[in-house]
């Protein structure tokens, strides 16, 4: 009997800013195509249903969990699953930058972005509500065996506590849907500054948490800001299984094998040796330590 | 791991070209246009903007407009023609002397700034007339150094639909231009707005672009304090002068002020992206 597998596809799209109908139609077609190619899980970029620099458009393009847009994408995913990026409006009218798991007849918000960047060219806290937790979700792979998936949306990845907490919940695959702007053109970096940062982080998380990592970044230009793509899938030893893609729309796919996880965790048993007790006692000490940064 | 260049202003030309071409292509075509119009002066900024636009959209979709005034340096028009020939775009020449002279016959002045501003604003109206006639967006050519120092004419050369050069310092424009197929003399000559004969940017500003760009980088990009810039070896008088220029010219980089009355005032609490629905 072969080891359990998960067939994963990352879509790299260029959404139309604020055009929910057009983006949904395009996502439905590409998710259905990825499913036809055999994907068990399809990952889309951050806010793939809406575009990123929405500003006051946020309430106009928000969807609700039981609304027609997510239902249509769930139908497109059929017997498979897709993680789609959307603005989700809660029953009490908060708007979250969220990852929604659709398919198999269901629609579930699996993550609400916790860290909303509000500095430099970002302004998310003005328009969006922050999530308050990192929780893995179990999904079935190619043969029905469960895979534990954790989601960190873009800026969430810059805070190591999120991936770490997901790892402690048994995460096999870390998914990072992203809308990362292209910036940093200094000579000698071998590419964009923003791409170099993500490359370093993705490799580090894959190796330090010995998990698969899927990065789904968007492309296109919004209000003068370009997005650099570079979507990819890494193994739990940071080997590149698919991608990185360039700056054009497209997709990449890989078959994740449970045996790869096992081998990586035998070779580098950092998860086995993790000391949650040390972290917890350290956190308890911090509770009584001023967190004002001094001064 | 690759190491960044020791010179923070040194750019990766191929990378920048790719970003700027995608910017021009996407931001022009997605709003329903396929063509652009560029005022070409014979200087390096407009030459580079035209070259980038031609790479992004195809030379045949870019209209170069040369707008000499009778007192402009004749070498500028010759250089502009060389640029157009090198890039291979359609071109048009509009002599703005009659309308400029008509105005200053009615309202005489020898004030060079007033006369220079009038030239820049006249050229803007020509470009926007071409924009409508040709269904083409006006591409701006102001670089980051000029925008920060306020070295441009409000509603003149600072008026355009989109600008590929606004986040490149002048010395970075030169770096990119050296990787473009542009006439060498356009890159080699001393920068001038050519609003009067013999005008020199660097003489008028009182410092070189090489020094100004390094200082601006530390002040703006690195957000160093004035004292930190002084510790880097910059002349305190230069720091004060450049910092003051950035401050007093902030109004040129903003929409006109609107008096607040309602709950949602345009651009204050009515905030939508330019690419709304595109």
Chain A residues closer than 8 Å to B277 by CB: 16-19
Q: Is residue A293 part of a domain?
A: no
Tokens of residue B119, six digits: 């030239």
The confidence score (pLDDT) of residue A2 equals 67
Residue B120 clears pLDDT 60, i.e. is over it: yes
> B196: number of CA atoms within 13 Å, CB side?
11
Q: Is residue A37 part of a domain?
A: yes
Mean of the per-residue pLDDT values of chain B? 96
DSSP A239-266: -EEE----SSSEEEEEEEEHHHHHHHHH
The beta strands (E) that lie in chain A are given as 5-12, 41-43, 81-89, 95-103, 106-112, 137-140, 146-151, 173-178, 212-217, 219-222, 225-228, 232-234, 240-242, 250-257
B206: left (phi over 0), alpha (psi -120 to 50) or beta: left
The confidence score (pLDDT) of residue A158 equals 98
Share of chain B above pLDDT 70, in %: 99
What are the residues whose beta carbons fall under 8 Å from the beta carbon of B102, sequence distance 6 or more? Answer: none
B223 touches chain A (CB under 8 A): no
- In order along its 295 residues, chain A shows pLDDT tens digits of 567 999 999 999 999 999 999 999 999 999 999 999 999 999 999 999 999 999 999 999 999 999 999 999 999 999 999 999 999 999 999 999 999 999 999 999 999 999 999 999 999 999 999 999 999 999 999 998 999 999 999 999 999 999 999 999 999 999 999 999 999 999 988 899 999 999 999 999 999 999 999 999 999 999 999 999 999 999 999 999 999 999 999 999 999 999 999 999 999 999 999 999 999 999 999 988 877 887 7
Q: Is residue A294 part of a domain?
A: no
CA-wise closest residue to B28 among B3, B63, B69: B63
Chain B residues closer than 8 Å to A189 by CB: 2, 4, 12
Inspect the interface and report whether the beta carbons of B15 and A185 lie closer than 8 Å: yes
* Average pLDDT over every residue of B141-156: 97
Which sequence spans correspond to the domains of chain B? 13-202
Chain-centroid distance of CA B234 in Å reads: 26
What are the residues whose beta carbons fall under 8 Å from the beta carbon of B114, sequence distance 6 or more? Answer: none
Total domains in chain A come to 1
CA distance A184 to chain B (A): 9
CA distance B135 to chain A (A): 20
B110 touches chain A (CB under 8 A): no
CA distance B265 to chain A (A): 12
Q: How confident is the model at residue B215 (pLDDT cuts 50, 70, 90)?
A: very high
B274 touches chain A (CB under 8 A): yes
B251 touches chain A (CB under 8 A): no
Looking at A20-29, B54-63, B194-203, B225-234, which range is the least confident one? B194-203
B12 touches chain A (CB under 8 A): yes
Inspect the interface and report whether the beta carbons of A247 and B18 lie closer than 8 Å: yes
Note which residues in 30-59 of chain B have CB less than 8 A from chain A.
30
Chain-centroid distance of CA B75 in Å reads: 20
* Average pLDDT over every residue of B44-68: 98
The Cα–Cα gap between A83 and A10 comes to: 10
Tokens of residue A81, six digits: 């699953």
Q: Which fold has domain B13-202?
A: Rossmann fold (3.40.50)
Q: Are B172 and B216 in contact (CB under 8 A)?
A: no
Inspect the interface and report whether the beta carbons of A186 and B10 lie closer than 8 Å: yes
B198 touches chain A (CB under 8 A): no
Chain A residues closer than 8 Å to B18 by CB: 247
Range of the domain at A84: 5-287
Give me the residue from A16, A190, A224 closest to B23, CB to CB: A224
Inspect the interface and report whether the beta carbons of B12 and A226 lie closer than 8 Å: no
Chain A residues closer than 8 Å to B278 by CB: 16-17, 19
Q: Supply the ipTM of this predicted assembly.
A: 0.92
Tokens of residue B191, six digits: 């920068």
Give me the residue from A18, A192, A221 closest to B26, CB to CB: A221
B10 touches chain A (CB under 8 A): yes
**Longest distance between any two alpha carbons in chain A, whole Å:** 62
Q: Is residue A133 part of a domain?
A: yes
CATH code of A108's domain? 3.60.110.10
The confidence score (pLDDT) of residue A1 equals 52
Q: Which of A221, A225, A230, A247 to mutate to test the interface with B (most CBs of B within 10 A)?
A: A221
The Cα–Cα gap between B165 and B149 comes to: 15
The Cα–Cα gap between B28 and A17 comes to: 15
Inspect the interface and report whether the beta carbons of B22 and A221 lie closer than 8 Å: yes
The confidence score (pLDDT) of residue A3 equals 79
The confidence score (pLDDT) of residue A295 equals 74
Inspect the interface and report whether the beta carbons of A56 and B12 lie closer than 8 Å: no
Q: Is residue A120 part of a domain?
A: yes
Chain-centroid distance of CA B207 in Å reads: 19
Inspect the interface and report whether the beta carbons of B11 and A185 lie closer than 8 Å: yes
């Amino acid at each position: 009997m072969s080891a359990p597998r998960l067939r994963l596809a990352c879509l790299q799209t260029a959404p139309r800013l604020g055009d929910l109908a057009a983006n949904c139609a395009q996502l439905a077609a590409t998710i259905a195509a990825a499913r036809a190619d055999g994907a068990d899980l399809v990952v889309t970029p951050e806010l793939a249903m809406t575009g990123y620099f929405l500003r006051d458009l946020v309430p106009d393009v928000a969807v609700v969990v039981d609304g027609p847009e997510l239902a249509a994408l769930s139908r497109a995913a059929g017997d498979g699953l897709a993680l789609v990026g959307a603005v989700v409006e809660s029953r009490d009218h908060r708007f979250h930058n969220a990852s929604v798991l659709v398919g198999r007849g269901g629609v579930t918000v699996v993550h609400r972005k916790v860290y909303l960047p509000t500095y430099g060219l970002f302004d998310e806290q003005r328009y969006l509500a922050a999530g308050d937790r990192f929780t893995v979700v179990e999904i079935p792979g190619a043969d029905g065996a469960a895979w534990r998936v954790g989601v960190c949306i873009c800026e969430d990845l810059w805070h190591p506590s999120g991936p770490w907490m997901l790892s402690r919940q048994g995460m096999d695959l870390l998914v990072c849907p992203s809308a990362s702007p292209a910036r940093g053109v200094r000579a000698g970096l071998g590419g964009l500054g923003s791409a170099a940062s993500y490359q370093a982080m993705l490799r580090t998380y894959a190796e330090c948490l010995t998990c698969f990592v899927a990065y789904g970044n968007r492309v296109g230009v919004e209000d003068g800001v370009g997005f650099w793509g570079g979507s990819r899938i890494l193994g739990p030893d940071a080997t590149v299984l698919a991608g990185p893609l360039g700056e054009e729309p497209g997709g990449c796919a890989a078959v994740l094998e449970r045996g790869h996880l096992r081998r990586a965790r035998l070779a580098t048993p950092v998860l086995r040796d993790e000391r949650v007790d040390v972290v917890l006692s350290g956190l308890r000490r911090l509770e009584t330590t001023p967190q004002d940064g001094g001064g | 791991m690759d190491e960044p260049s020791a010179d923070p202003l040194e750019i990766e030309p191929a990378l920048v070209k790719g970003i700027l071409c995608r910017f021009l292509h996407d931001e022009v075509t997605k709003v329903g246009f396929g063509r652009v119009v560029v005022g070409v002066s014979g200087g390096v900024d407009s030459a580079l903007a035209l070259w980038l636009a031609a790479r992004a959209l195809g030379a045949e979709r870019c209209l170069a407009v040369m707008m000499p005034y009778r007192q402009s340096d004749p070498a500028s028009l010759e250089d502009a023609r060389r640029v157009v020939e090198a890039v291979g775009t359609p071109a048009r020449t509009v002599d703005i002397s009659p309308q400029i002279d008509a105005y200053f016959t009615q309202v005489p002045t020898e004030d060079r700034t007033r006369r220079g501003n009038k030239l820049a604003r006249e050229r803007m109206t020509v470009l926007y007339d071409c924009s409508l006639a040709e269904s083409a967006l006006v591409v701006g050519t102001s670089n980051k150094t000029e925008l920060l120092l306020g070295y441009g004419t409000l509603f003149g050369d600072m008026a355009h639909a989109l600008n590929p050069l606004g986040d490149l310092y002048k010395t970075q424009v030169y770096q990119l231009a050296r990787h473009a197929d542009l006439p060498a003399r356009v890159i080699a000559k001393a920068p001038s707005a050519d609003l009067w004969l013999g005008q020199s940017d660097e003489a008028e500003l009182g410092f070189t672009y090489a020094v100004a760009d390094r200082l601006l980088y530390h002040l703006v990009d690195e957000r160093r304090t004035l004292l930190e810039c002084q510790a880097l070896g910059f002349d305190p008088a230069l720091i004060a002068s450049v910092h003051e220029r950035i401050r007093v010219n902030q109004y040129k980089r903003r929409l006109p002020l609107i008096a607040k009355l309602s709950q949602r005032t345009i651009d204050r609490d009515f905030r939508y992206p330019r690419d709304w629905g595109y």
